[in-house]
Amino acid sequence: MGEIATWGYGIAGAAYLLFALYIFVAWRGGLPGGVLLAAVVLSSAWAIASSFNVAGEGVAGLLAAALLDVLRGGAWFAFLIILSLPLWGRRLRWPALLALAVLLAQFAALATEAVVDRAALPVQPALVAWLAHAVIGLMLVEQLYRGLPANSRWGIKPLCLALAAGYIFDLYLFADAFLFSRIDFDVWAVRGLVHALLIPLIVLAGIRSPSWTLRMSVSREVVFHSTALAGAGVYLLVIAGAAYYVRYFGGDWGRALQMTLLFAGMVLLGALLFSGSLRARLRVLISKHLFSYRYDYRNEWLRFTQALSSSDSGLDLGQSVVKALCDLVESPGGGLWLRDAFGNFAMHSRLNQPASDWVEAQDSVFVRFLDEREWVINLAEFRARPGHYEGLVLPSGLSDLGDAWLVIPLKASDKLIGFVVLGSPRTPFEIDWEVLDLLKTAQRQAAGYLERMLAAEALLEARKFDSFNRMSAFVVHDLKNLVAQLSLMLRNAERHRDNPEFQQDMLETVAHVEARMRGLMTQLQEKRSIDPPRPVELVTLLEAVCHSRRALRPAVELRLEAAAPLEVNAHPQRLERIIGHVVQNALDATDEDGKVAVTVTEAGDALQVVVEDSGCGMTADFLRERLSRPFQTTKTSGMGIGVFETRQYLGEIGGQVRFESEVGKGTRVTITLPRNQRGQ
């Protein structure tokens, strides 16, 4: 057994040394990680010292190994206490004090046995101290595990299992030694190997616990082959157990049963070794649960989101979606097909890919497959194993793309809004379960961005139509007033056609109407104001308004109660139009023997245009509830948008309008305009 002990402790020392180097490289400065590194280093030193002690059999070596064993145990105690501190409120509790007392007792026991003959002692203090060490260790593990919430134990469970198993082994070893006053050398010889077997569980806990500040991961090959080795070990244990049973209880049929079990075991092992699908499923299972993933998902998601939201590269949103998906799988480019106005799917954006005229019908088999399955279609896999994509029929347009590789559906709000076709990768790239999961999640986010883009475009188009329709209504309203002027002129032409003054007025009116109509048509075509705001001489504008209505009755009186010059910032034609609306409304509401007056006054930094009439007036309810709403009017031939346009335009240039009216007494409209400072 001496050789077994030497090799066992030597292997344990080497394993802990390699583990220590790995932790040193992965350590990022956290306290738990530092204490774990110290515990692993001391465990390696203890195992190596124990190996040399077995080979040399010297007293000094024995004391050195025992001292390192105590230090190793103290380091693991410290690691458990540091992990438990957040649960204890950052205060040391009695288990920590017991652990310190046990360590002091172990040092005292070593000192006692170093100077006193063991035979003279009724009880070997070292055995008692090591037995207490195992008990306190189990207590610390229990405190840590029970103190964590149930949903937080997943990360720490492998560590608790490993340390608890080590303490239980030591408890058995030293309890047996205490009862029989001697250490079972066979059990002690494998102690190093037993503790070395705990390393994988500690590694797994480190991977699951980033709060230790360790960047630990395990390669696929190591985990897969280790799992295969563990499976082979389980297989051999089962066969060995069956052979043991056959040997002692088999009787005459034992050899037949042994051969049967051997053959069944070989068949099972062959199935495990040569079944590709079974190995693939096992690899996926291991990949999902036993090591770090292929991607750093935090960085990948930040990069993907940045690619979708960035506008610095000069790409539109569709191209950004294609590029973001390309970067996930090393593809150089691709194309984006989105649903058009007719429901079919046409190319919307492309990146490093020729333009395509391929339009896919919304009711095609290909579109239904993408909508119902939401599968990422690997065209290379489809050509090799078409049965895997049961029910899929590739459209001819997709085959014409040449280097098409992946088809990624884009679904948002449970509706297929489009799909992306990616080109072949720059380098061989394996599409496994993790890549598919990443692409499926990424397409959901990309589809959400695109859905909002399409909704914004539809809203913008609707607003353009709304703006155009609103402007059309204003133009029609102005045309109605112009037509009214022409109608009045035609009615008077029968009586005054031979009057030279009337003829001159008629020509001026026609020229004015023609210019106004031409301006309205230009404004309607350009969908904007004809000119930018500029200083406007208010008196000249008001004189033009009154002059254009000189043929109407009653005559409009213009009064000036403000110091010249009177300039405001506005659009000349629009301001003339809205003041003309107000004056025209006053004329329409007033009898020929009534009065209509336009007065200009000062109001601080503004000018006020007050239009008063002695007409029929309006009710308080109409003023309060209906006057400012579009398409509300008291006139039988009115459209009800003049006041609405007046309020809207004055709001644009910083002015306002106020209405005062009383039924049977008339109306007073006060228009406040921002005064041009230069004109003061």
39-55 pLDDT per residue, tens: 999 999 998 988 887 76
User: What is the average per-residue pLDDT within 587-594?
Assistant: 88
Integer Cα distance of 161 and 166 in angstroms: 9
Of residues 139 and 236, more confidence is placed in: 139
pLDDT, residue 231, reads 57
User: What is the average per-residue pLDDT within 5-12?
Assistant: 86
Beta bridge partners of 27: 214
Q: Which CATH class is domain 532-679?
A: alpha beta
pLDDT, residue 595, reads 93
**Dihedral, CA atoms, 364, 367, 369, 371, nearest 10 degrees?**
-140
Integer Cα distance of 364 and 393 in angstroms: 9
pLDDT band at 598 (very low <50, low <70, confident <90, very high): very high
* Tokens coding 592: 């020929």
pLDDT higher than threshold 60 for residue 232? no
Q: Say which CATH architecture domain 313-454 belongs to.
A: 2-Layer Sandwich (3.30)
**Amino acid making up residue 665:** K
170-184 pLDDT per residue, tens: 888 888 887 777 788
303, 325, 306, 320: which is closest to 453 by C-alpha? 320
Beta bridge partners of 423: 404
pTM, to two decimals:
0.40
pLDDT band at 666 (very low <50, low <70, confident <90, very high): very high
Angle, to 10 degrees, between the axis of helix 59-84 and the axis of helix 153-180?
140
**Amino acid making up residue 85:** L
316, 312, 319: which is closest to 333 by C-alpha? 319
| Neighbour tally for 90: CB within 10 Å | 7
Q: How far is CA 630 from the centre of its chain?
A: 43
Q: Say which CATH architecture domain 2-217 belongs to.
A: Up-down Bundle (1.20)
203, 226, 227, 225: which is closest to 216 by C-alpha? 203
pLDDT, residue 437, reads 85
pLDDT higher than threshold 80 for residue 414? yes
Task: Judge whether 630 and 644 are in contact, CB under 8 Å.
Answer: yes
Radius of gyration of the chain from Cα atoms? Answer: 46
